[in-house]
Amino acid sequence: MMDYVNAFVSMLNGMSPYLLLGFLIAGVLHAFVPSAIYSRYLAGTGLRSVATAAAFGIPLPLCSCGVLPTAVALRRSGASRAASTSFLIATPQTGVDSIAATFSMMGLPFAILRPVAALVTSLIGGLAVGHWERKGALDDVHSDANYEFSELPKGLWNKIKETLKYGFFDMMQSIGRWLLIGLVVATLITVLLPDDFFSTYARWPLLNMFIIVLVAVPMYVCATGSIPIAAALMLKGMSPGCALVLLMAGPAANMASMFVVNNAFGRKATIVYLLSIIGGAIGFGVLVDYWPGLRELFTSALPHHAMHHHMAVSWFNTVCSVALLGMIIVALGAKYWKSYQIKRNKTTAMKEFKVKGMMCAHCKANVEKGLAALPGVEKVTVDLAKGTALVEGCIPDQLIIDSIEDLGYQYEP
């Protein structure tokens, strides 16, 4: 039992200071940078718009579900499908929080290569979609819905409060559970798998990469939650190229995102989206494993604390770990308490709609705002824990269903 505890504490202590810094930066980006700027410079289909979309998306700490409504909103606010696809590919692969955590757990080479790989794959995917978009060869999809970005809080003190709330509460609700799951899975891998487990298959890293892609692409794992899993697998003999494939392919897509992208951007754009993620992940994985000297560089750069479970625990890391766990517990507790209150206060006048694809606070805010804007809607309450939207007002059910799907989600009867 102590082996599990020691492994978990070691990973948490190594990541917590960087995670807290990343969450703070995420709050600053949210509270101080106008969201409308993301659509202002993304109307073109060429390199400039595609590169700008990728540059905007890379530092944002949005997961593969949270990025979907943002990308759909960009598209409906004037961004091209090329730029929106580039944003879709780049954003979930990395973020300021995951870059900091990657440096902490896996070393500087991985921390540098992750955003570079996200940039390259997003440029390839965005330019490919842009080429088809200019030729008019993409599927026609419904994209005339109007979306208004929320305004930034006014006044420095309000911006600071929004920074702290978003970074240390909303973001904790969004990825806190997945971060803990990633740490638990990494702990189990570290303790249960033999140290030479992956060395048995070290002769076939390319085969390992394809297996990882098949497993990682359909499932959901956030950019930060994938880090301890990748680090733990490297400790068991997995090559750094295979670990990079997991870090790229796992966060970038999941089954829900594929359905939403297909609905909002069309079948051909979805194919480019998936091929860019898969091809980019395997391409960079092969580069790391087969380019002379790179494999040794990435392996040797794995931090010392990631190689040993019984590291000395500093007071600073301990305080950061306790603070991080406390914030996650408070945020998740509030999330499920809210779900209980919604259930208790539900009235017969409320209509319940099951919404597939809502997995974070971004999703909740987008659905609530989108449905509340419909004529005749008096009140909207989204239960994120149950994945439902409660709507009160005099409005046909079909209009609500259409609005849910226009927002980039799926209605489940």
In a domain, 137, yes or no: yes
In a domain, 253, yes or no: yes
In a domain, 338, yes or no: no
CB–CB of 352/394 below 8 Å? no
| pLDDT value at residue 150 | 53
Total domains in the fold of the chain: 2
Q: Coil, helix or strand for 266?
A: coil
pLDDT digit string, tens, across residues 362-397: 778 888 888 988 888 888 888 887 888 888 888 888
> Is residue 175 domain-shared with residue 227, that is, in the same domain?
yes
Measured over the CA atoms of residue 191, residue 113, residue 171 and residue 383, the dihedral's sign is negative
| pLDDT value at residue 117 | 93
In a domain, 45, yes or no: yes
Buried b (16+ CB within 10 A) or exposed e, 240-262: bbbbbbbbbbbbbbbebbbbbbb
Which of 196, 232, 189, 191 shows the shortest CA–CA distance to 1? 191
In a domain, 180, yes or no: yes
CB–CB of 269/129 below 8 Å? yes
At 347, give phi and psi (nearest 5°). -110, 165
| pLDDT value at residue 149 | 46
Positions in the chain whose pLDDT score sits under 70 = 35-36, 38-39, 63-66, 68-70, 72-73, 76-77, 137-151, 195-202, 219-220, 254-257, 260, 264, 304-313, 346-348, 359-361
> Is residue 246 domain-shared with residue 165, that is, in the same domain?
yes
Question: Hey, what amino acid is at 254?
Answer: N
> Is residue 27 domain-shared with residue 160, that is, in the same domain?
yes
- In angstroms, the CA 408 to CA 374 distance is 16
| pLDDT value at residue 201 | 63
Q: Which domain holds residue 88?
A: 2-324
Q: What angle do CA 78, 80, 86 make, to 5 degrees?
A: 125
| pLDDT value at residue 51 | 92
> Is residue 269 domain-shared with residue 370, that is, in the same domain?
no
Q: What is the DSSP string of 144-178?
A: -----PPPPPSSHHHHHHHHHHIIIIIHHHHHHHH
pLDDT digit string, tens, across residues 321-358: 999 999 999 988 888 887 777 777 766 678 889 988 77
The reported pTM is 0.68
